[in-house]
A and B are shown apart, each in its own frame.
Chain A
Amino acid sequence: MTTVDARPPAAARRQGGASPRLSRLPFPVRLLARMAFTLLGLLTLLFFLVRLKGDPAGVLAGPSATPDQLDAIRAAYGLDRPLFVQYLEFLGDTARLDFGESILSGEAALGSVLGALPATLLLIAITMIVSVVVGVPAGLALHHGPRFVRAPLGGLLTLAQAVPTFVIGVGLISLLAVQLGLLPAFGSGTVESLVMPTITLALFPIARTARMIDAELDLVDEQDFLRTAAAKGASRRRVVWRHALPNAFPAVTAALVVELSYLISGAVVVEVLYAYDGIGKRLVDAIFARDYPVVQAAVFVIGVVVVLVNVFGDALLRVLDPRTGRAAA
């Protein structure tokens, strides 16, 4: 091995990952290859997870099953065949989007999961919008505000980053729903029922966005183009909003993409907490009911969403900051 060789600077490696051979391919092809690779990895993980404890028939049948019942289940699910055959068949079924039927309701597992997806996506999308709409001004206040604003704001943001989602949620329920009776504590489908889940989920990303805006503004504060703009007579407001702030957009967009996985994890907790009928709640319900086809379908659907959003985010980043594309090549 070589111990010393020339390394590209950190910024050029930020996009990392693609091997030299792959990087000669056009960007969309590379992206598709990575998507397929990622999903394959997830499926493999799912497949072996179910077999981790040895016999999935035992898991499916529950602890009280008789040997005859176990044999019947093995035959019914094809678990008596070689592992490799099972794996290929699992991949084949997945490619045909067939996860089997829900053990509880009998309907197609994928269908029942997909039905709950829009509600979750809505929650996450609104949370992202809120986190930017509130987070950006908060970040500006944190950077340019007077001292008596900065200190308490910084404390609040630190607190928002430290308190877990469900603690915030329980607090909100007790305050807004139980004490004041302003909003419904549970349920889904109405606009009011979105308010508390959104606030609960958004506090952390708001804090992250604000901190990031602050840090990115730090980087450009002393740069020439800001001084030039000010010298040309641009108002302070214009210098901040028009000249300084856009520099933070790529970082904020990148963070939103990364934050998606946090938001989905958070959405699971929030959906259970507020009895909001989304994919996270379906997943947890299915786990409690030992409804494994639905569990697999839910994890798969979440995986696809994550991959798609990452692809979309990568593409968006290239539009927002052309440097990323050049640096990665």
Chain B
Amino acid sequence: MRTPDLRFWTPVTVLAVVVTACLLGPALVDADPIAQDLGNRLEAPTWLGGNGGLLGTDSFGRDLLARTLAGGRVSLAVGFGAATGAVVLGVLLGLLAGYRGGRLDRAIMTGADIWLAFPFLVLALAAVAVVGSDIPVLIALLTLGGWVLPTRVTRTVVHRLRGEDYVVAATGAGASDRYVVLKHLLPQVLPVTLVVWSFTVGTLVVIESSLSFLGLGVRPPTPSWGNLISDGTVYLETAWWIIAWPSIMIALTVLCANTLGTALRRRLSGAGLDPEVLS
């Protein structure tokens, strides 16, 4: 028996717990995340001698356990949704750039360089100012915030594979582009994609919460981790618990996403895939 790889299973477990808790939130907690109870404002958690339930209440008397879980739903939906979109977009562009090469390759990669040079949050703020910040808009927007890394990585992998004997042989034997891409390139790209996806989730959860924190992301009363923290900053002296829980959740999620990415990369490089691609 091999001992389980803790550096891989710890983040997987924690992420699974966070996601499950947020998904099942309404079923687990009978408090309403939006219902106000003004007689019960800024109550400390019960274990601190307050009357605010397990995690306390906010300035409108709303239950923070329910709000943290409901906020997680929104933040995670945006983070995971946008990361998945970004990876799909990135793999398509990366395959195109890496396989076609030439002028198209240069155009896509120059675009990626330029895109990365701009502070994405600034562009996102300008966009949100005009088109608003409904959740589908946020997901679409953050997809654009994460496409560069998967594009670069896919392109690098495809570039390297293109010279491999079996790809050359398949092309020489008359295989169509479609066949080569689907049969020979994509299966090799996908595992690496998983690593990128993991890192991208971390990045995008941060961007979403930053937008919401600034008041330009997910709009109240819909809770998200970012706007929960923004609500709580005013009550830093009197009710620190308001910002504590969403902060911990964001940190935990991003930390786990990053560690998971690192662990996956280590596994891949063990399986013969070049880790340098991702550095």
Q: Which residues of A contact B (CB under 8 A)?
A: 1-5, 7, 10, 16-17, 19, 38, 41-42, 45-46, 49-50, 52-53, 59, 158-159, 161-167, 170-171, 173-174, 178, 215, 258, 260-265, 268-269, 272-273, 280, 283-284, 287-288, 290, 292, 295-296, 298-299, 302-303, 306-307, 310
Contact = CB atoms under 8 A, between A and B. Distances in A.
A267 B36 CA distance: 34
Interface in B158-215: 159, 162-163, 167-168, 171, 180, 202, 206, 209-210, 213-215
13 contacts: A4-B168, A53-B130, A162-B202, A170-B229, A170-B247, A174-B237, A215-B279, A260-B119, A262-B119, A264-B121, A268-B214, A292-B129, A295-B129
Interface string B99-133: 01111001001100110111111110111111100
A261 B106 contact: no
Contact of B113 (A17, A158, A284, A299): A17
A258 B114 CA distance: 10
B109 A16 contact: yes
A246 B100 CA distance: 38
B126 A49 contact: yes
Nearest to B230: A166
Contacts of B237: 174, 178
Given A16-B110, A161-B258, A215-B279, A261 B251 contact: no
B20 interface: no
A306 B110 contact: no
A270 B227 CA distance: 15
Nearest to A46: B126
Given A162-B202, A174-B236, 17 more contacts: A3-B168, A3-B171, A5-B101, A7-B159, A16-B109, A17-B106, A38-B114, A41-B114, A162-B251, A162-B254, A170-B236, A261-B118, A261-B119, A265-B210, A284-B214, A302-B118, A307-B117
A279 to B, nearest CB: 9
Contacts of B120: 261, 265
**Of listed B101, B206, B216, residue having the most chain A CB within 10 A:** B206
A258 B121 CA distance: 15
Interface of B: 100-103, 106, 109-110, 113-114, 116-123, 125-131, 156, 159, 162-163, 167-168, 171, 180, 202, 206, 209-210, 213-216, 226, 229, 232-233, 236-237, 240, 243, 247, 250-251, 254-255, 258-259, 279
B215 A158 contact: no
A166 B229 CA distance: 9
A127 B254 CA distance: 23
A171 B247 contact: yes
Contacts of B110: 16-17
A19 B106 contact: yes
Contacts of A50: 130
A174 B233 CA distance: 9
A302 B122 contact: yes
Contacts of B233: 170, 173, 273
Given A258-B116, A265-B122, A164 B216 contact: no
Contact of A53 (B131, B202, B213, B236): B131
A54 B268 CA distance: 47
Contacts of B102: 1
Contacts of A288: 215
A59 B129 CA distance: 9
B253 to A, nearest CB: 9
A306 B250 CA distance: 29
Contact of A178 (B119, B215, B236): B236
Nearest to A313: B117
A123 to B, nearest CB: 14
A162 B250 CA distance: 9
**Of listed B103, B109, B113, residue having the most chain A CB within 10 A:** B113
